Amino acid sequence: MTADYDFASAEPHWQRIWDERGCFAVADDDPGDTRTKYYVLEMFPYPSGKIHMGHVRNYTLGDVVARLRRAQGHAVLHPMGWDAFGLPAENAARERGVHPADWTWGNIAHMRAELKRMGLSIDWSREFATCDPAYYGQQQRLFLDFLRAGFAERRDAWVNWDPVDGTVLANEQVIDGRGWRSGAPVEKKKLSQWFLRITDEAPALLAALDGLDRWPARVRQMQANWIGRSEGAEIEFPLDQPEGAITAVEVYSTRPDTLFGMSFLAISPEHPLAAAVAARDPATAAFIAECRRLGTSEAAIEAAEKRGHDTGLRVRHPFLPDASFPVWIANFVLMEYGTGAVFGCPAHDQRDLDFVRRYGLPVVPVVLPPGADAARFAIDDVAYTGPGTIFHSDFLDGLDVDAAKRAAIAALEARGSGRGVVNWRLRDWGVSRQRYWGCPIPVIHCAACGIVPVPVAELPVVLPHDVDFSRPGNPLDLHPSWPNVACPSCGGPARRETDTFDTFVDSAWYFARFASPHAAEPVRRAAADRWLPVDQYIGGIEHAILHLLYSRFFTRAMRATGHVGLDEPFAGLFTQGMVTHASYRAADGGWLYPEEVDLRADGGAVERAGGGAVTVGRVEAMSKSKRNTVDPGAIIARYGADTARWFILSDNPPERDMEWTETGVAGAWRFVRRLHRLVEAIAVLPAAPKPDRFGAAATALRRTTHRSIAAVSAALDSFAFNVAVARIHEFASALADAEMADAAEPGLAWARREAGATVALLIGPMMPHLAETLHAALNPSAGTLIAELPWPEADPELLEQQSVTIAVQIMGRLRGTVAMPPDAPPEAVIAAAASEDNVARLLAGKRIVKRIHVPNRIVNFVVTG
């Protein structure tokens, strides 16, 4: 009888050994290392205070990949760092009087210790935090390069202003008209801001998605939708009477084929023409004010409500010299998209139709659906947007929709009143934030010289430590001395930029910094060339658009400025599911933590303290507000890191949401002990040279061993970690069977030692500590580590089957099975199948019209009568 596996002493022991031996360290650039590189990266954490189960899942998945690739002979880069700037640190400062830096560094220290207890194969010598001047100073340098190369610019722009956080938000950070973090309705404000010109890269970013064949299709789809390419025409509509300096309205349309169906022109309330009319017309001004008051969020709620205001202006039609159309201001026209103006063709656009039904404007159908009667076709309440033949449209008559688009664009271009254009939904990336805890934007504003970049020699621009959070607003702006500097250009008094970068800038290049984390430049080129791209990136689907798109853009800008030599940062992407848990409510409606609840066998639950009634709620993503969280630290203390890792991997496929259950972890812990006991029993067997002869049980075990190698390798290679776990369970059952077999059988002891050594190697990526413990037990004096041993190879001879089970069907229904040698001649297989007892009984009196034989799989008799 052996003692239970003592993970509490084994896990720290192996972690120390790995650390002492430097098992996971790699060089930035070592020409002597001829191994193929493999860069595994999990999205780095925000140091919020404690790690949560989502982190545990993320880093477990990455560690399996890293350890597997290392064993398979790759030089593996597997780093860790901290996405350490951000608003929660400032909130902590305002709410609790802790300095953001102290709060952040304290959290990092705590979370680093927690992560280390997981036994991850990380090269900790590469660790950095984005709030360290050593990192953000290099980011400032990158920005100056981008500025020089034209990737960054400052301009006035309508911005999304979050009134609660008191800062600007990128379009990507506005969700349903509300700030992504505060949830407050976003306001429109015009401010001078720094922008990164991501729209210049829109065509390249879209085109390159096709090459990302190791990305999930849906992430590529989401990015493509976000970039939002559309083809159409820009059309100029001259005003009948000029409005001040404005003589025409420019419109973007994807449907120039429907120009003859126009009944009005609509402009956005923010359009310059609207402002010009409002300057002289109070009714127009009132309508614009009302639109602004309703704001984005109200507009979202009342999405169906189309409102308009007739300006009294009229425009001329490019193809109808005698006709003119009214110009309306309409609340559904967005200034941000296209030109901020549309021509309304109500017959073939639902919004336009809703609008004219409200305001009584005409509806002229110009696309005739296939098979419809031109004399009787009419539009009712539903616009027709499908294919068809153009009619009522002069020179476009008879063309189909696509041909008419081309013809209309050609005619517009010929007349000089329009042209074909490609439009993008993607906006430039506003990166200015009115915050303290972020990377200072390294420029200086000089009254005489304008915007002056901080000289590289003066970088980093370091955040001042002595800031005052007692007043609202940006503490940098309020700082008594920090903003005041001499202009680097003229030496006169000047003022620092007090905005800091959006934290998405910090995470848009950190993967490149990991290649040479201590370099005196942003990225050392040789190191970047050695390690980039990231071969396998792993993280949550919530970053499918923002972070991944920004990183792709940054990589292109870094290439253009000579920092890296590639376009795409992430060759492979894996998006993991969330960790969920049932939620519990006490009788008074308050949420309860899982450890406050006792589950009963009938599925009900009671409060552990007092036995009060508990309602078991939905299984949903772990969140503090629902209290359905499980603390990884407590789980690791109770069961060990390997058990937690094993459960996370075994429950379900990693891309899906997994449910954390107490019974599941307990089951994983049971298996850990079972495997430990099985291998301990093997470790006491005498070691002996490989025998010449193996008995039946020994041979069966050896076949299982080598089949397990093949099956587990295939499963791990394809991210089917739950299947790998299942195969190891089967392997363990075979180990238990061998324990019961006749010990005197030739070769059994050797086969069992082989099996034990193999199982230790196979669990290595998933349960690294247990693997080392088993390996050490089997090889007490070897001094080798699983972490340094190569991945096992399956012996092809032992993978060959001596016998295959052939399913026998009659009319496609299973009626029996027969065992045959592999690749037996078809006639022999069919004869054996036909004489199987049950099959023979059912075939009696029937005429066989066809015999189907699929080698090593199936025989099917097609019969009549």
Tell me whether residue 96 or residue 847 sits nearer to RNA (CB atom): 847
CA-to-CA distance for 684 and 400, rounded, in angstroms? 83
Q: Using the rule CB under 7 A, is 252 a contact of RNA? A: yes
Tell me whether residue 252 or residue 694 sits nearer to RNA (CB atom): 252
In whole angstroms, the minimum distance from the beta carbon of 102 to RNA comes to 34
In whole angstroms, the minimum distance from the beta carbon of 846 to RNA comes to 13
Q: Tell the burial category of 180 from Cβ atoms under 10 Å away from its Cβ (0-12, 13-18, 19+).
A: middle
In whole angstroms, the minimum distance from the beta carbon of 403 to RNA comes to 17
- Between strands 493-496 and 500-501, the pairing is unpaired
Q: Using the rule CB under 7 A, is 633 a contact of RNA? A: no
Q: Which window, 274-282, 584-592, 690-698, 851-859, contacts RNA (CB under 7 A)?
A: 851-859
Q: Using the rule CB under 7 A, is 218 a contact of RNA? A: yes
| Six-digit token string for 738 | 């061998």
In whole angstroms, the minimum distance from the beta carbon of 342 to RNA comes to 4
Pair 838, 809: CB distance under 8 Å: no
In whole angstroms, the minimum distance from the beta carbon of 646 to RNA comes to 10
Residues 501-540 vs RNA: string with x where CB under 7 A?
A: ----------------------------------------
Residues 640 to 659 in contact with RNA, rule: CB under 7 A: 650-653, 656-659
Q: Using the rule CB under 7 A, is 232 a contact of RNA? A: yes
Q: Using the rule CB under 7 A, is 299 a contact of RNA? A: yes
Tell me whether residue 280 or residue 419 sits nearer to RNA (CB atom): 419
Of the residues 36, 125, 192, 225, which one makes contact with RNA according to CB under 7 A = 225
Q: Using the rule CB under 7 A, is 221 a contact of RNA? A: yes
Pair 619, 594: CB distance under 8 Å: no
| Six-digit token string for 305 | 């409500």
In whole angstroms, the minimum distance from the beta carbon of 787 to RNA comes to 25
Tell me whether residue 601 or residue 684 sits nearer to RNA (CB atom): 601
Pair 430, 168: CB distance under 8 Å: yes
CA-to-CA distance for 174 and 683, rounded, in angstroms? 60
| Six-digit token string for 91 | 């909130």
Tell me whether residue 693 or residue 813 sits nearer to RNA (CB atom): 813
Q: Tell the burial category of 466 from Cβ atoms under 10 Å away from its Cβ (0-12, 13-18, 19+).
A: exposed
In whole angstroms, the minimum distance from the beta carbon of 330 to RNA comes to 8
Residues 253 to 282 in contact with RNA, rule: CB under 7 A: 253-255, 268
In whole angstroms, the minimum distance from the beta carbon of 155 to RNA comes to 20
Q: Using the rule CB under 7 A, is 187 a contact of RNA? A: no
In whole angstroms, the minimum distance from the beta carbon of 816 to RNA comes to 7
First to last CA, the chain: 65
Q: Which window, 305-313, 314-322, 695-703, 748-756, contacts RNA (CB under 7 A)?
A: 305-313
Tell me whether residue 304 or residue 744 sits nearer to RNA (CB atom): 304
Of the residues 615, 733, 784, 835, which one makes contact with RNA according to CB under 7 A = 733
In whole angstroms, the minimum distance from the beta carbon of 415 to RNA comes to 19
CA-to-CA distance for 746 and 701, rounded, in angstroms? 12
- Separation in Å, CA 648 to CA 2, 258, 584, 635, 642: 27, 56, 22, 12, 10
| Six-digit token string for 18 | 């790995």
Q: Using the rule CB under 7 A, is 545 a contact of RNA? A: yes
Size of the site for RNA (CB under 7 A): 89
Pair 143, 441: CB distance under 8 Å: yes
Q: Which window, 57-65, 126-134, 250-258, 480-488, contacts RNA (CB under 7 A)?
A: 250-258
CA-to-CA distance for 112 and 121, rounded, in angstroms? 13
Geometric angle at alpha carbon 735, from 819 and 716, rounded to 5°: 85
Of the residues 45, 119, 338, 533, which one makes contact with RNA according to CB under 7 A = 338
For residue 821, give the 3-state DSSP assignment: coil
Of the residues 730, 742, 788, 823, which one makes contact with RNA according to CB under 7 A = 730
Helix (H) or strand (E) holding 191: strand 187-196
Q: Any bridge partners for residue 852, and if so which?
A: 860
| C-alpha of 725 from chain center | 25
Q: Amino acid letter at 570?
A: F
Q: Using the rule CB under 7 A, is 500 a contact of RNA? A: no
Q: Using the rule CB under 7 A, is 541 a contact of RNA? A: yes
Q: Using the rule CB under 7 A, is 293 a contact of RNA? A: no
| Six-digit token string for 744 | 């005197």
Tell me whether residue 322 or residue 837 sits nearer to RNA (CB atom): 837
Of the residues 33, 305, 521, 717, which one makes contact with RNA according to CB under 7 A = 305
Residues 673 to 712 in contact with RNA, rule: CB under 7 A: 673-674
Tell me whether residue 477 or residue 631 sits nearer to RNA (CB atom): 631
Residues 775 to 834 in contact with RNA, rule: CB under 7 A: 805, 807, 809, 811-817
- Separation in Å, CA 378 to CA 260, 342, 383, 404, 419: 16, 23, 10, 20, 31
Of the residues 337, 359, 591, 593, which one makes contact with RNA according to CB under 7 A = 337
Q: Tell the burial category of 511 from Cβ atoms under 10 Å away from its Cβ (0-12, 13-18, 19+).
A: buried
Helices (H), 445-584: 475-478, 503-506, 510-513, 525-531, 546-560
CA-to-CA distance for 179 and 158, rounded, in angstroms? 16
**Backbone phi, psi, residue 715, to 5°:** -65, -45
Residues 155 to 184 in contact with RNA, rule: CB under 7 A: 175-176
- Separation in Å, CA 605 to CA 598, 600, 614: 6, 5, 5
Q: How many CB atoms lie within 10 A of CB 62?
A: 25
Q: Using the rule CB under 7 A, is 663 a contact of RNA? A: yes
| C-alpha of 733 from chain center | 38
Q: Using the rule CB under 7 A, is 637 a contact of RNA? A: no
Geometric angle at alpha carbon 326, from 322 and 329, rounded to 5°: 155
In whole angstroms, the minimum distance from the beta carbon of 614 to RNA comes to 15
- Between strands 536-540 and 573-576, the pairing is parallel
CA-to-CA distance for 15 and 17, rounded, in angstroms? 6
Of the residues 340, 418, 569, 764, which one makes contact with RNA according to CB under 7 A = 340
Q: Using the rule CB under 7 A, is 450 a contact of RNA? A: no
| Six-digit token string for 363 | 């509806």
For residue 615, give the 3-state DSSP assignment: strand
Q: Using the rule CB under 7 A, is 425 a contact of RNA? A: yes
Q: Which window, 328-336, 448-456, 497-505, 820-828, contacts RNA (CB under 7 A)?
A: 328-336
Of the residues 351, 392, 495, 559, which one makes contact with RNA according to CB under 7 A = 351
In whole angstroms, the minimum distance from the beta carbon of 219 to RNA comes to 8
In whole angstroms, the minimum distance from the beta carbon of 849 to RNA comes to 9
**Backbone phi, psi, residue 92, to 5°:** -60, -40
In whole angstroms, the minimum distance from the beta carbon of 54 to RNA comes to 15
Pair 318, 235: CB distance under 8 Å: yes
In whole angstroms, the minimum distance from the beta carbon of 309 to RNA comes to 13
In whole angstroms, the minimum distance from the beta carbon of 513 to RNA comes to 28
Residues 601 to 630 in contact with RNA, rule: CB under 7 A: 601
Q: Which window, 127-135, 471-479, 566-574, 660-668, contacts RNA (CB under 7 A)?
A: 660-668
The DSSP code sequence of 9-47 is HHHHHHHHHHHHHTTT---SS-TT--SPEEEEEEPPPP-
Q: Which window, 228-236, 524-532, 549-557, 562-570, contacts RNA (CB under 7 A)?
A: 228-236
In whole angstroms, the minimum distance from the beta carbon of 799 to RNA comes to 13
Of the residues 331, 500, 580, 629, which one makes contact with RNA according to CB under 7 A = 331
